[in-house]
Amino acid sequence: MLLGNRVIYTVSNKMAVMADKRCWSALYVGLTLAVLLTLPHASDAQTWCTSLIDAFSSYNCVCRPASDSNDVVLDCSNQDLTSVPSMAPGKVLPTALIIHEFILANNSITRLEDNSFQNFRVNALDLSGNSIASVSDGAFDPLIADLRELRMDGNFTEPPKSALNSLKDLEILTLGDYKVNYLGDSDHLYFFSFKHLKRLTLRQWKIIAIEIDAFKGPNSLQSLTLLQEQDMVNLPLDIFTQDYLKNLKNLKISMTSIVEVGEKAFSDSMLNDLEELDLSDNLISDIKANSLEGLGLSLRKLSFASNYLRSDTSDLTGLSNLPRLEELDLSGNEDINVIPDFSQLNLADQTDVKIFLGNNNINTLSSNAFSGIAPRLHTLDLSQNRISSMAPDSFNEMANLHVLRLSQQRGVTTVKFALPSSLSESANSLTHLFLNGLNLDESSVSEVLPHMANLEVLDLSHTGLTQVPNLQKMVNLQELYLTGNSLTFLNQDHLIGPRETLKKLYLSQNPIKLISSCIFAHYTSFPITLALQSVQLECNCSLAWLQRAATNGRINLTHPPLCSNFNIESLLSKNATICPNDDFKDPPCENPYTTTPPPTTPRPPSLTLKLVKVTSNSLTLSWSLSNTVGTLRSFDVKITNSYGNSEFIRNDLHPRFFQVEATPLLPDTQHKVCVIANFQSINSVTECTFIRTEKGSGSGASGQEGDSDSDNAGIIIGAVAAAVLLLIILAAIFYLVVVRRRPKKNSGPTSTPVQPRNFAKSELPSMSEDSRTFTRPKRPVDNHDGMQVVAISDGQVNDRHARNGSARVGRAAMLHSDGSYKLMSAGDSSTEGTSGIGSVSGSQSLYENDRGLLPKTPPYHDHGLRGPRQPGYYNEAFEQDKYDEIDMQREVTV
Ligand SMILES: *[C@@H]1O[C@H](CO)[C@@H](O)[C@H](O)[C@H]1NC(C)=O
């Protein structure tokens, strides 16, 4: 019960709020544990700041919560303090209070006494920007337990070795403005006691040389930085061979007088884990061959920015075999005037690389400038060079390029700069494109830019544009810079596209007169920052929208436009008078984002047909419509039999009719029955069905029994049929051998064939020399295998005067499996082989096989592509099917 509510509240507001009476005891136990575990670090920043400000009320210190912890930052920088602030008498800080960062930078503190930090608990102490000439040996002792980071600047004296040595747990140390010409000789070992030091920065120590043991002590140093050592002319290669630097990941030696990275400089080094090497701001003109040998397995970032590297000699040959390189900074080397050969980096396939070549003197971009690394390029900075031309294919294969800077090429202001067409290869990857300051050829802009759908930042400032490029695909665009161009007006069309993302639009210094109230119509990315510095607009009612948007915060006008008609005053200062007409309404805006759906045509109703009654020669049909969407005009009814002949047609039946009786129809015939509903305004609707009329009263047994047989019966019948067939074939052979050798009968074609007609049994075909037998083996379907239909001509095939192609076959007979045959010359009643007598109805000649009626043979005169090629029976439906066609080639002349 020592831990009352107050403590719990102090530890965590959120947890206290969550506390529920029902689970209070559980929470109590949990919190007790949590408080005990976290007590040394946990704090309520506000409460602690109150205590701190109270204790240091005589100073202008600022207390704020630390960004990355629950602790506080006490900032007493820039106060002209001459000593570390001391607490007001009688004030005591809570023992748990730890100042995460105590900033005393940029003051005039010169001395640190033994008691300077009495009663403080500090994690990080910043004493930079002071000139601390004297530090008593015990000055840091009160901080030993908590201090992890120290920044301190001296007065170009020796570093306070004894005082520092007590901070054995220091992890980060930054010391500037000391004087140690030869770091690391026996008198100048400063880091020996920092066993846990991870990061060490020495700035301006006037170092001339670094001895081999200089950084001995810390065994896990990860980052070493040497800055502003102007007397240092050589890389301290010796120390890199030492075991104590084997964990180094970052090495930065900058602002020295080092002039070269010698051959095999790192070959013997222990820097096997080095990931970043920063040698920027030196005097290096040479990266000798194999200079970086030994670093290739680990190096990810390499900078030689602001040196004197030359591209016209072979001094960059050392930039080779760094397969894991992700960042290479060669910017600010004024003697680099061509793109170095990056292919020798031998980048691994999976590496994305950022290359910075800004602020050099590169003057041209040739076709293969980036060969070998083009597909690997993530970022390319070529800004501030002298590039006046680029080969159209300079950007070939850069399909992974995210960031491209081409801004501000020097000395090429008069030439129009054409964006290379190969930039389109980066259209799907580019997110940041900087073209500011280029005198752009506008046609190349409109060719290349509109495809860049992933752009987030596009800088086209000072590029001479007269038009905003098409943004329609740029639905990710957040920042668009168009400052200093020749835009004269801005309307909705110009800004169609990035309506969900655009946050910044810079239009300053354009001769814009007019800005439509619709430019941000359908935008959802408000508030939008809009810069219109020194833009002079005609301020009237049609600009009132901008005033309103600026007032209500939807638009943040960093630079309000001026009103050309109000003495060039700011739009925002003219609030009352710009639109005296209260009734003014902004014109409506288009919505280009929703594609208007095509006008909905009403769905036509569907027809349902119902057979009411069927007889042998009639059928009664009724129908209904599913709805009454269209205005019904009439119904048509069409009945066609399976031979393709139309037997019944009624057109323009009154819409009241929903039933019709169709007669006369052929009996025992499949009919296609169609009803068509015609409407006033919508397409007519057709529905068809198939109905078979019943058998006529006079029709006898038909040969269709096979259709309903079981499989077994089918097989039996098939076998019987095959046997019968065999007999028939034998009979045929008999005929061939015996009958055909008889003298020719005088049986020429009749002069006027009557077709079709029936024949008496005595007239049945007799085989003669001009008789032909058409044999059509049937497809092996169902149980008809082995069945053959034999059509026997009566010899009239030579009658070339016949007008109807169907007459060519004359008579056909189907043989039944029992040996009987059936003449097939007439429609409804066939002649059975036993009687030989049948009746013929109508003028049509119909043929059937054992499956039913055959489609009508097209008229002979109708031949053509689809018509019969030869006189004879011809089934149009099987035109492509040689197997079923009666093919003259396969005739057997008896
Ligand atoms: C101290 O001054 C330097 C130089 O003006 C500045 O860079 C640094 O940020 C300042 N430090 C603080 C903590 O204000």
Q: What DSSP string describes 408-457?
A: --TT-SSS-BPPPGGGGGGTTT--EEE-TT--B-HHHHHHHGGG-TT-SE
Compute, in angstroms, the gap from residue 128 CA to the centroid of ligand 1: 8
Compute, in angstroms, the gap from residue 83 CA to the centroid of ligand 1: 18
Residue range of the domain that includes 620? 607-698
Confidence (pLDDT) at 118: 87
Tell me the three state secondary structure of residue 43. Answer: coil
Q: Which atom of ligand 1 is nearest to the CA of 106?
A: 1
Q: What's the DSSP call for residue 595?
A: P
Compute, in angstroms, the gap from residue 80 CA to the centroid of ligand 1: 13
If one counts the domains in the chain, the total is 4
Contact 766 CB / ligand 1 (< 6 Å): no
The answer to whether position 358 is within a domain reads: no
Contact 105 CB / ligand 1 (< 6 Å): yes
Antiparallel, parallel or unpaired: β 364-365 and 389-390: parallel
The answer to whether position 159 is within a domain reads: no
What residue owns the CA closest to ligand 1's atom 1? Answer: 106
Contact 103 CB / ligand 1 (< 6 Å): yes
Compute, in angstroms, the gap from residue 78 CA to the centroid of ligand 1: 8
10-residue mean pLDDT profile of the chain (894 residues): values are 33 37 44 42 72 90 84 93 90 87 96 90 95 94 95 94 93 96 89 94 96 91 96 94 94 96 90 96 90 92 95 79 95 93 89 94 90 94 92 92 95 82 93 95 93 96 95 96 96 94 96 93 95 92 90 91 86 76 85 69 77 89 80 87 85 85 87 87 84 70 40 52 69 64 46 50 53 47 43 42 42 54 48 37 48 56 46 50 43 39
Compute, in angstroms, the gap from residue 177 CA to the centroid of ligand 1: 15
Compute, in angstroms, the gap from residue 77 CA to the centroid of ligand 1: 8
Compute, in angstroms, the gap from residue 694 CA to the centroid of ligand 1: 108
d(CA 209, CA 359): 31
Tell me the three state secondary structure of residue 49. Answer: helix
The answer to whether position 459 is within a domain reads: yes
Contact 795 CB / ligand 1 (< 6 Å): no
Residue at which a domain ends, from 685, 709, 739: 739
Confidence (pLDDT) at 606: 84
Antiparallel, parallel or unpaired: β 772-777 and 788-792: antiparallel
What residue owns the CA closest to ligand 1's atom 2? Answer: 106
Widest CA span in the chain: 154
681 and 731 together in one domain: no
The answer to whether position 486 is within a domain reads: yes
**Which tokens in the block code for residue 293?**
């040998």
Contact 78 CB / ligand 1 (< 6 Å): yes
520 and 643 together in one domain: no
Confidence (pLDDT) at 854: 58
Task: Ligand 1 pocket test: pick from 106, 107, 125, 204 the residue with the most ligand atoms within 8 Å of its Cβ.
Answer: 106
Contact 129 CB / ligand 1 (< 6 Å): yes
Antiparallel, parallel or unpaired: β 646-653 and 632-641: antiparallel
766 and 893 together in one domain: yes
In this structure, the dihedral spanned by the alpha carbons of residues 555, 556, 558 and 559, taken in order and rounded to 10 degrees, is 30
Length of the chain: 894
The answer to whether position 894 is within a domain reads: yes
691 and 726 together in one domain: no
Q: Among all chains, which residue has been given the structure tokens 């051998």?
A: 737
**Which tokens in the block code for residue 684?**
């007519």
Contact 77 CB / ligand 1 (< 6 Å): yes
487 and 567 together in one domain: yes
Q: Which atom of ligand 1 is nearest to the CA of 103?
A: 13
Confidence (pLDDT) at 576: 61
**Which tokens in the block code for residue 727?**
């007999």
Q: Which atom of ligand 1 is nearest to the CA of 126?
A: 13
Q: What's the DSSP call for residue 755?
A: S
Nearest in space to 144 (alpha carbons), one of 183, 108, 174, 114: 114
812 and 877 together in one domain: yes
275 contacts 251 by C-beta, under 8 angstroms: no
878 and 801 together in one domain: yes
Whether cis (ω within 30° of 0) applies to the bond prior to 756 is: yes
Helix, strand, coil distribution of the chain in percent, nearest 5: 15, 25, 60
Task: Locate the DSSP E strands across 535-625.
Answer: 536-537, 555-559, 562-563, 569-570, 607-614, 619-625
What residue owns the CA closest to ligand 1's atom 11? Answer: 105
What H or E segment, with its residue span, contains residue 720?
Answer: helix 711-737
Task: Ligand 1 pocket test: pick from 60, 61, 77 the residue with the most ligand atoms within 8 Å of its Cβ.
Answer: 77
What residue owns the CA closest to ligand 1's atom 12? Answer: 105
Confidence (pLDDT) at 857: 56
766 and 889 together in one domain: yes
Compute, in angstroms, the gap from residue 581 CA to the centroid of ligand 1: 54
Compute, in angstroms, the gap from residue 404 CA to the centroid of ligand 1: 32
805 contacts 871 by C-beta, under 8 angstroms: yes
The answer to whether position 315 is within a domain reads: no
838 and 729 together in one domain: no
Contact 106 CB / ligand 1 (< 6 Å): yes
Confidence (pLDDT) at 754: 45
What residue owns the CA closest to ligand 1's atom 13? Answer: 105
Q: Which atom of ligand 1 is nearest to the CA of 75?
A: 13
Compute, in angstroms, the gap from residue 229 CA to the centroid of ligand 1: 20
Spatial CB neighbours of 78, under 8 Å, sequence gap ≥ 6: 105, 106, 107
pTM recorded for the entire structure:
0.63
d(CA 351, CA 337): 26
Compute, in angstroms, the gap from residue 106 CA to the centroid of ligand 1: 6
Q: Which atom of ligand 1 is nearest to the CA of 78?
A: 14
CATH number of the domain encompassing residue 490:
3.80.10.10
Confidence (pLDDT) at 849: 58
What H or E segment, with its residue span, contains residue 726?
Answer: helix 711-737
Compute, in angstroms, the gap from residue 81 CA to the centroid of ligand 1: 14
The answer to whether position 601 is within a domain reads: no
Compute, in angstroms, the gap from residue 61 CA to the centroid of ligand 1: 15
558 and 661 together in one domain: no
814 and 848 together in one domain: yes
Compute, in angstroms, the gap from residue 220 CA to the centroid of ligand 1: 29
The answer to whether position 63 is within a domain reads: no
d(CA 299, CA 248): 11
What H or E segment, with its residue span, contains residue 834?
Answer: none
508 and 547 together in one domain: yes
Q: Which atom of ligand 1 is nearest to the CA of 105?
A: 13
What H or E segment, with its residue span, contains residue 873?
Answer: none
Compute, in angstroms, the gap from residue 105 CA to the centroid of ligand 1: 7
Nearest in space to 37 (alpha carbons), one of 45, 29, 46: 29
Compute, in angstroms, the gap from residue 69 CA to the centroid of ligand 1: 23
Compute, in angstroms, the gap from residue 182 CA to the centroid of ligand 1: 28
What is the radius of gyration, based on Cα positions, of the chain?
51
